[in-house]
Amino acid sequence: MATRFADKVVVITGAGSGIGKVMAKRFAAEGARVAVVDWHGDRAAECAGEIAQTDGHAVAVRADVSVGADVATMVGEVTSRLGPVDVLVNNAAIADGDDVLEIEEPTWDRDVSVVLKSVFLCSKAVLPSMIERRAGVIVNIASVNGLSALGNEAYSAAKAGMINLTQGIAVRYGGYGIRCNAIAPGTIRTPIWQERVDRDPVVFERLVKWYPLGRVGEPDDIANAAMFLASDEAAWITGTVLRVDGGLLAGNYRMTRELLAQAGSEDLES
């Protein structure tokens, strides 16, 4: 089995659920010593426990990554228990607000803090030791929402900010051997969708029609991309945003299908 991350210290925020949890297990399976960070301490402990059961190395750390004091304590604890951070994956997010006209100020502030301020705080906390060691990787889990108007305005604006911050860090610290990239996932089947699934049990099947590759994504699709960007295989890639979206943002799929149907290419009209 490939062990691209043997003895690397990898911090993953929001790793108690969904994409973060799958990334934690996948990094650990490739030799990393993983810090499973989540504001739900029980979820973090459960994920770290599952990794330990497969002989992986993980520690659970409870922290709200939108709070500076929590982040400082978290990075201090990780450094003393595992060593200096080699890879930071900024993955934690919430998306509570939607329409600008309806969103309340506290909801806006909370969404933006958890999605964007957390990236500033966690990066600021790990960068000094990365600079000192002249090595380090940051992978930011953004969203297609940061690249196009798809609703959830506070979350989306914060994801757009995250993409710009990715570029800022890449440019400013590239000279120290530090790389910083973002991933923009499309729809991924995770618990973040639970409320929507409760309201509409076939929501994923409905969304498939927007995806040229004919399915929504799975957490492993994002883990594959994150591990590539964190690995030496991506040694000359920094400041980029990699869309992992089944082709969602490549074009207007429904419009193309309509145009092709009008032109007589009926074979696409499934």
Ligand X SMILES: NC(=O)c1ccc[n+]([C@@H]2O[C@H](COP(=O)([O-])OP(=O)(O)OC[C@H]3O[C@@H](n4cnc5c(N)ncnc54)[C@H](O)[C@@H]3O)[C@@H](O)[C@H]2O)c1
* Residues carrying an active site annotation: 155, 159
Closest C-alpha among 215, 214, 213, 192 to residue 145: 192
Which of 43/179 has CB closer to ligand X? 43
Provide, rounded to whole angstroms, the least separation between the CB of residue 186 and ligand X.
6
Contact status: 91 vs ligand X (CB under 6 A):
yes
Q: For 78-91, b where at least 16 C-beta lie within 10 A, e where not — what string?
A: bbeebebbbbbbbb
Alpha-carbon distance 221 to 211, whole Å? Answer: 14
Residue, CB closest to ligand X: 18
Interface segment toward ligand X; rule CB under 6 A; list 2-10, 78-86, 190-198, 204-212: 190-198
Total chain residues near ligand X (CB under 6 A): 27
Q: How far apart are CA 77 and CA 62, in angstroms?
A: 10
Query: What are the counts of helices (DSSP H) followed by strands (DSSP E) for the chain?
Result: 10, 7
Give whichever of 174 and 214 is closer to ligand X, judged by the CB atom: 214
Contact residue for ligand X among 65, 78, 137, 226 (CB under 6 A): 65
Q: Which stretch binds ligand X (CB under 6 A): 80-88, 98-106, 173-181, 183-191?
A: 183-191
> How far is 113 from 118, CA to CA, in rounded Å?
6
Residue 206: phi and psi, rounded to 5, are -65, -40
Site string (112-151) toward ligand X, x via CB under 6 A: --x--------------------------x-x--------
Which is nearest to 39 in space by CA: 92, 79, 90, 100?
A: 92
Give 72 or 192: the residue with its C-beta nearer to ligand X: 192
Return the range that interacts with ligand X (CB under 6 A); candidates 61-69, 71-79, 121-129, 167-175. 61-69
CA distance 217 to 201: 17
Task: Give me the least distance between CB of 75 and ligand X, in Å please.
Answer: 13
Residue 106 as a binder of ligand X (CB under 6 A): the answer is: no
Query: Of these, 5, 27, 39, 253, which contacts ligand X (CB under 6 A)?
Result: 39
Q: Which of 205, 125, 118, 200 is nearest to 155 (CA)?
A: 118
Distance CA 231, CA 10 (A): 11
Looking only at the bridges linking them, the beta strands covering 57-62 and 87-90 are unpaired
Only segment of 13-21, 97-105, 129-137, 201-209 that touches ligand X (CB under 6 A): 13-21
- What does the binding site for ligand X look like in residue numbers (CB under 6 A)? 13-14, 16-20, 38-40, 43, 64-66, 91-94, 114, 141, 143, 185, 187-188, 190-192
